[in-house]
Chain A
Amino acid sequence: MTDRQQRIQALYEISLSIGPKESLEATADAALSGYLTKLNCSVGAIFQRFPHNGDIDYRITATIPASPRTNETLTAAIDELPATDTTHREFVDRLPIAGETAGGSHYYLLELPEFGVLALGKRGGEIDRLTRSALTPLNEKLAEACRSQLIESQLRTERNRFEAVFDAIPEPVANTVIEDGVERVTRVNAPFEETFGYSEQAARGRPIGELVAAPADHPRADGDGGSGIGPTEIRRETADGVGEFLFRRVAVDADAGEFIHHYVDITAQKQRQQEFERYQRLVENLPIGVYRTTPGPEGEFRLVNQGLVDIFEGSSKADFEELSVTDIYVDPEERKQFSDQLLEQGSVEGVELQLQTVDGNPIWCEVSGIAVEEDGETVFELALQDITERKERQQQLAVLNRVLRHNLRNGLNVIRGNAALLADGVDRELRSHVTAIEDRIESLEQLSQKAGTVRSLFDQGREVNSRCDLAALLSEVAADFEERHPEATLSVGEVGPVHVRADVRLKLAVLELLDNAVVHNDKSVPTVSIGVSDSESKPGDGWVDVSITDNGPGIPEDERRAIETGEETPLQHGTGLGLWLVYWTVSLLGGEISIADAPSGTRIVLTLPRALETTRVQPPNADS
C-alpha cells in the first residue's frame, strides 16, 4: 500500500470516529482517540475556546493522557495557547502550528473552526505536512460535531432547567403539542395529577380538553386563556369535583404548536370572595349603622354601610365623605369624650349618644365598638342603632309611671280617709262594703308599690356580674317567710354549695312566688316547698333548677298562658303584676321560668345559669 493510500485510509478511518455522541466530552474523546490511533500519536487534546473577561480561555474538552501537564509534548503544545485576546488573534493567524520539544517530540496545533483547537503529539516521528493538510476537512467536521453537541448540550441543559421548573411549579401544569389539529398532552406535573386525577402516563397523548373539561352544567364560555393577553377565570372538573382556576395558555414554540397550560386553583379564593360578598350584603342590609372612623375630636369616616346612611337620612354614602364624625354629634364635646373613652378602654358597648342627621335632626343612638390597629394607625369599628323611638317611649313611660303612681297614691289616700269616715257613720250592715273598699285600696297600693319595684328591676339592667349562694339565699327567704306568713308552712330541701349568676333581684322573685303561693292558697294551712337540683330542661353542668311547689288551687289559665307566651292581649290577661315581676326578674338574670301542675297544687321552676367561680359573691340581702 502506498503512503498516499495509507493516508487516505487513515483519514477515512479517523472520520468514522467523528460524530455526535451522548455529550460534548464523549464526542471529543472518541474523535481524539481516532486521531491518535490512526496517526499513531502518543498524546493529544481538544480545547474549547471561551471568551473570558475580554480575553480568550482555552479549556480542555478531551485529553490523552488524563493528566496532560505530566507529558512533556502535550505541555509544550499547551504552552503555545494564547493568554490574552491580542495574542489569541496572533495565535489563530499562526495555526496550524508545528513544534518540536527539546526531547525531540513533535506537537501540532490545528484549528477547529468556531470551536477551539486540536493538539496532537508524537514521539519518535512526525506527522508529515501532506497529512496535516489533509486533516483540515476532518478538523472542520470535528468542530462542527463539537459545536452541534455544544448546542445540543445547551439545549439539553435548557430542557433540564425547563423540566426542573416544570416539576417545581406548585400549580397544575400541562405541556401540550398540537398534532393534526388536536392539542394533545405530552407532559403533566405532579400537582396536575393531584388536581385533575391524571398521571403523566395516563395523560400523555390525550387531548387536553378531555382531561381538563368544563362541568356538564357549565357552558364553555369562559375562554381558553390562549389570547396571551392575560389569565382567564375558568371552571373545570377536578378529581374531587369542580374547581375554579385562573388559567393561562402560554406558547413555548408557537410554530411547533407547543404550549404550556397553567392552572392556578382559586376555588378557595372564590369561595372566600363569595363569602365576603355575602357578608358585605348582610352588613349593607342591616337596619343598624356599621362604620369605621379614625379617632380624635373630629374623626374621619372610613367606611359606612347603607344602614348608617339611612339612619342619618343621607342620600348616599358619599355624604359621609364630606362629613367629619363630630358633625353628627349634637355636642362636639361628647364626640371627644366618646373617642377618648374608646381609645382608653379599647371597646365600648351600648353607649347612648345624642346625635343628629345630616339635616340636623336630633336622634338618639346606641353605639358599640372597638378600637383596632390597622396599618400602623388606630381605627374605630362601630355599630350604631337608632334608639330614638325607644328613648321617647322610655320618657313617656317614666312620665306616665310617675304621674299615675303619684296621682294613684294621692287618690287612694283621699279614698282611704273618706272610707274611714264612712265606716264610723254606717251601720253594721253597710260596714262590709266599707271594708271591701278598704281592701281594694290596699290592693291598689300594693299594685302601685309593685309597679315601682318592676321599674327598679329594669333600672338595674341585664348586666349581672355577681353570683348568688343559693343555700344562703333560701335560708334568708325561709326566715322572711316565717315572719311574713306564720300561718303557712315552708320546707326547704337540702341545698348543696350551688352558686348561680344572680343578684338581689332573685330573692325578690322567690319571695314573690312564695307570697303568691300563700296569698292565693285556699287551704287552711298553706304549704310551700323549695328544692334545688341540676336543670332538667338544660345541661345540668351549666344550669340549676329552683322549684317552688305549693298546695294551692293552681294559677288561673289566663295568667299562666300570658306568662308562657310572654304577652298579654285584651282577651288574655292576668290580674296583677306578681307573676310578671317574677318573669321579668328571671329573664333579666338570663334564666327561664316554667309552670307545671303538681299533684296537689302548682310547681314553678326557675332555671338559672350557674355562676363562674371567678364571679364575685353578692350577699342575697344586699338590697335589704
Chain B
Amino acid sequence: MEVTYCSDPGGELETALRSTASTASVEGVLLLATPDPTVRSAAFESVLAAVEVPVFGGIFPELIHEGERKDQGALVVGLPSEPAVTTVSSLDDGASFGDALDASLPAAGYETAFVFVDAHASAIESFVDSLFRTYSVGLNFLGGGAGTLEADNEPCLFTDEGVVGDAAVVAALPESMGIGVRHGWQEVAGPFRVTEAEGSTLHALDGEPALSVYSGVVADAADTAVSRENFFEVAKSYPFGQTRMDGEQIVRDPFSVDAGGSIDCFGELPEGEFLTVLEGDPDSLVEAAHTAAADAQAGVDSPAGIVCFDCISRVLYLESAFDRELAALTADKLPTVGALTIGEIANDGTGHLDYYNKTAVVGAIESP
C-alpha cells in the first residue's frame, strides 16, 4: 500500500497522483482529501481524468495519517489491484438502488469494497440496505459519509465519473480485508419506545415529547439540564442506541432540537422500535477503537496496511483524549490512513450491514 500525504494539494497533489499511479505495483488510487479549494476546483476533474489508473475516494472534515489528524491536505493511497468502481447517483431519491449495483462482483473474485456516500444525501440508509440486499456478506464493506460539517452541498466524492455529490461510490477490490467495528458507548437508560417519528426526526418516546424524556435521562445521568441552547454540547455525550441481537447497539447521534421538543438525529428512527440512551467515557471509547483495530488485524493473515474511518463526533466528544484513540487505531509498522467521517459504513463479514454514527470502523488490507 503506497501512501503519500500532500500537505498542500495545490502544489503537490497532481504530482503525487501521477507518481503513485505510475508505480508498477499500483493499479488503483484511494484519494482522501480535506475540503481544499484545489480538489473542489473544476480543473481538478481533468487532473483526475489524466490519472492512468482508477481513482476513487472523498472529501472529509479531517484525515488520519500515521497516528495524526490532518485538517488539511490529501492522502494518495496506491492500491495493488485495479478496483471495480461503481458510482450510484441520485442519493436523494429513496428508491431501491439494487439495479445500479453489480451483483456478480463476489463471483468475479472481489472480496472487499470501499464505500463512500455524500453524508448529506437523504437516502443513505436505503442505499446501504440495497448494498446488503445485493451482496449480504459476499463483500466486506468499509467506508463512511463524505462532505463537510458545514453541509455546503458541494461535490464530495471522487468517482470514475468525476467529482460528484448526492451520490455514492463503491470500489471493489480482490484483496480480503479484516474489519473491526466498535463504538464503546454504553446503555444508560431505556429502552424507550418510539411512539412518533418522521424519518430521522424523533417526536415522542413512550408517548411523551422526545426532548422531555431525553432531558430526564441526561439530568439523572449527568445532573445537567438540557436546553435548546446547550443541546448539541450535551447530546454529543448521550447518543441514542438501537438494539440488535449479538452485537453492539447501533448509535444514532442527536444533533439538534426544535421548539416543539423534537430531536433531529443522524439516521432513521422507525416508529414502534425501541431506543436506549447511551453514554460514554473516554476510556471505553478508546478501548473500543483499540478492539476494532485488533479485530481488523485479526481478520487477515498478513496485513499490508490499515484504513480507518472514525466519526468526527468522537473527536468532538473525546477532545484531547482523541490522541489516544488515534494511537489505538494506528498499527505498529503498518501504514495507517483514514478519515474523520460523518457517519460510518462497515460490516465485519458476519452480520447485518448498517449505517453507523459515532463509531470507529477499521480495515486491515491483506498483503497481495
Which chain A residues have a beta carbon within 8 Å of chain B's beta carbons? 1, 5-7, 9-10, 12-13, 16, 33, 36-43, 64-67, 70-71, 122-125, 127, 131
Residues on the B chain within 8 Å of A10, using CB? 243-245
Residues on the B chain within 8 Å of A33, using CB? 129, 133
Contacting B134 at CB < 8 Å: which of A9, A12, A66?
Answer: A66
Write the B242-270 contact mask toward A (1 if CB under 8 angstroms, else 0): 01111100000000000000000000001
Contact A122 B132 (CB under 8 A): no
13 more A-B residue pairs beyond the given contacts A40-B351, A67-B107, with a C-beta to C-beta distance below 8 A: A6-B243, A6-B245, A10-B244, A16-B273, A36-B352, A37-B352, A41-B351, A65-B103, A65-B133, A65-B138, A67-B103, A124-B348, A125-B350
B135: interface (CB < 8 Å) = yes
Contacting A65 at CB < 8 Å: which of B134, B272, B348?
Answer: B134
Once the chains are docked, how many angstroms separate the CA of A248 from the CA of B301?
Answer: 81
Once the chains are docked, how many angstroms separate the CA of A67 from the CA of B348?
Answer: 20
Once the chains are docked, how many angstroms separate the CA of A127 from the CA of B245?
Answer: 9
Contact A7 B245 (CB under 8 A): yes
A106 to chain B, nearest CB (A): 11
Once the chains are docked, how many angstroms separate the CA of A115 from the CA of B351?
Answer: 27
B106: interface (CB < 8 Å) = yes
Residues on the A chain within 8 Å of B107, using CB? 67, 70
Once the chains are docked, how many angstroms separate the CA of A66 from the CA of B350?
Answer: 17
Once the chains are docked, how many angstroms separate the CA of A7 from the CA of B244?
Answer: 9
Contact A71 B133 (CB under 8 A): no
Q: Sort A-B residue pairs by CB-CB distance and give the 5 closest, nearest first.
A: A124-B350, A65-B136, A40-B351, A42-B137, A16-B272
Residues on the A chain within 8 Å of B187, using CB? 1
Given contacts A16-B272, A67-B103, contact A123 B349 (CB under 8 A): yes
Residues on the A chain within 8 Å of B350, using CB? 40, 42, 122-125
Contact B276 A1 (CB under 8 A): yes
> Closest B-chain residue to A16, C-beta based?
B272
Contact A71 B103 (CB under 8 A): no
Once the chains are docked, how many angstroms separate the CA of A64 from the CA of B243?
Answer: 21
Contact A42 B351 (CB under 8 A): yes
B5 to chain A, nearest CB (A): 35
Contacting B243 at CB < 8 Å: which of A9, A66, A67, A127?
Answer: A9
Most buried by A among B106, B246, B350, B351: B246
Query: How many A-B contacts at CB < 8 Å in the complex?
Result: 92
How many residues of B sit at the interface, in one of the four size bands? 20 to 34
Contact B245 A124 (CB under 8 A): no
- Cβ contacts A to B, 18 pairs, < 8 Å: A1-B187, A1-B190, A1-B276, A6-B245, A10-B244, A13-B273, A38-B244, A39-B244, A39-B245, A39-B246, A40-B244, A41-B352, A42-B349, A64-B136, A67-B107, A71-B138, A124-B348, A131-B245
Contacting B274 at CB < 8 Å: which of A9, A64, A131?
Answer: A9
Contact A1 B244 (CB under 8 A): no
Residues on the B chain within 8 Å of A7, using CB? 245
Residues on the A chain within 8 Å of B243, using CB? 1, 6, 9-10, 13
Contact B137 A123 (CB under 8 A): yes
B209: interface (CB < 8 Å) = no
Contact B136 A71 (CB under 8 A): yes
> Closest A-chain residue to B348, C-beta based?
A124
Once the chains are docked, how many angstroms separate the CA of A37 from the CA of B355?
Answer: 12
Contact A13 B351 (CB under 8 A): no
B67: interface (CB < 8 Å) = no
Once the chains are docked, how many angstroms separate the CA of A123 from the CA of B129?
Answer: 18
Once the chains are docked, how many angstroms separate the CA of A9 from the CA of B98?
Answer: 30
B110 to chain A, nearest CB (A): 12
Interface hits, B164-222 → A, CB 8 Å = 187, 190-191
Residues on the A chain within 8 Å of B135, using CB? 65
Residues on the A chain within 8 Å of B246, using CB? 39-40, 122, 125
Contact A42 B98 (CB under 8 A): no
B210 to chain A, nearest CB (A): 18
Contacting B351 at CB < 8 Å: which of A1, A9, A122?
Answer: A122
Contact A13 B272 (CB under 8 A): yes
> Closest A-chain residue to B132, C-beta based?
A64
Interface hits, B105-124 → A, CB 8 Å = 106-107
A329 to chain B, nearest CB (A): 90
Once the chains are docked, how many angstroms separate the CA of A65 from the CA of B132?
Answer: 7
Residues on the A chain within 8 Å of B129, using CB? 33
Once the chains are docked, how many angstroms separate the CA of A91 from the CA of B244?
Answer: 30
A85 to chain B, nearest CB (A): 32
B145 to chain A, nearest CB (A): 20
Contact B136 A42 (CB under 8 A): yes
A108 to chain B, nearest CB (A): 13
Once the chains are docked, how many angstroms separate the CA of A235 from the CA of B47?
Answer: 83
Contact B274 A123 (CB under 8 A): no
Residues on the A chain within 8 Å of B103, using CB? 65-67, 70
A481 to chain B, nearest CB (A): 107
Residues on the A chain within 8 Å of B351, using CB? 40-42, 122-125
Once the chains are docked, how many angstroms separate the CA of A12 from the CA of B272?
Answer: 9
Once the chains are docked, how many angstroms separate the CA of A36 from the CA of B354?
Answer: 11
Once the chains are docked, how many angstroms separate the CA of A355 from the CA of B107?
Answer: 101
> Closest A-chain residue to B347, C-beta based?
A42
Most buried by B among A7, A39, A66, A125: A66
Interface hits, B51-97 → A, CB 8 Å = none
A430 to chain B, nearest CB (A): 138
Once the chains are docked, how many angstroms separate the CA of A311 from the CA of B229?
Answer: 120
Residues on the A chain within 8 Å of B104, using CB? 67
Contact A40 B272 (CB under 8 A): no
Interface hits, B127-150 → A, CB 8 Å = 129, 132-138
Contact B352 A13 (CB under 8 A): no
Residues on the A chain within 8 Å of B352, using CB? 36-37, 40-42
Once the chains are docked, how many angstroms separate the CA of A125 from the CA of B352?
Answer: 12
Once the chains are docked, how many angstroms separate the CA of A229 from the CA of B348?
Answer: 72
Once the chains are docked, how many angstroms separate the CA of A536 from the CA of B247?
Answer: 115
Contact B98 A66 (CB under 8 A): yes
Contacting B137 at CB < 8 Å: which of A12, A38, A43, A125?
Answer: A43
Once the chains are docked, how many angstroms separate the CA of A493 from the CA of B274?
Answer: 122
Most buried by A among B106, B187, B243, B247: B243
Once the chains are docked, how many angstroms separate the CA of A36 from the CA of B136?
Answer: 10
Residues on the B chain within 8 Å of A127, using CB? 245
A101 to chain B, nearest CB (A): 12
B249 to chain A, nearest CB (A): 9
Contact B349 A124 (CB under 8 A): yes
A46 to chain B, nearest CB (A): 13
Once the chains are docked, how many angstroms separate the CA of A595 from the CA of B77?
Answer: 124
Most buried by A among B133, B245, B246: B245
Once the chains are docked, how many angstroms separate the CA of A6 from the CA of B276?
Answer: 11
> Closest B-chain residue to A3, C-beta based?
B245
Contacting B270 at CB < 8 Å: which of A16, A67, A123?
Answer: A16
Contact B133 A66 (CB under 8 A): yes
B230 to chain A, nearest CB (A): 28
Residues on the B chain within 8 Å of A122, using CB? 246, 350-351
